[in-house]
Amino acid sequence: MHAEFHPGNISSGMALAVEHAEAGFHFEEGGCWAMAVALYERFTLLGAAPVLRYRADGFTHAWVEVDGVGYDHQGNLFSLPLGATVASAAEMADIAARFGVSTEDFEADKAWADQVVATASRLLAWRVTCDAS
């Protein structure tokens, strides 16, 4: 796995990027669908084999798993929710719509999530570079 998205590095980078974007809980709630896709795409770009998962009973949430570690807007999940369903990136907008997220909102959330992930990526790359010095 690319050092940029090592479980030990991602939590601080994602937390800072979400704070910088002033996203609050947006990506924990309705924006989780688009954030999961943004993370999926980033992990894929880095050569990982991510799996998109979501939970639709009780606490509804979407995230990505790589090598048994879950990731969302806060970085790595310290415990994976039980009862998760696997989805493809192409399905995620339709799944989000079932939970009240319009196509327009999903697309706007995805653009915002892409920016947050890009910020986290820059922060993490900087941290990895500094740690290597």
pLDDT tier for residue 80 given thresholds of 50, 70 and 90: confident
> How many structural domains comprise the chain?
1
Domain residues for 25? 3-132
Higher pLDDT, 16 or 130: 16
Q: Which helix (H) or strand (E) holds 53?
A: strand 51-55
Which pLDDT score, from 0 to 100, does residue 6 have? 60
Which pLDDT score, from 0 to 100, does residue 56 have? 85
Q: Which string of b and e fits 21-45 if b means at least 16 CB within 10 Å?
A: bebeebbbebbbbbbbbbbbbbbee
Whole-model pTM: value is 0.88
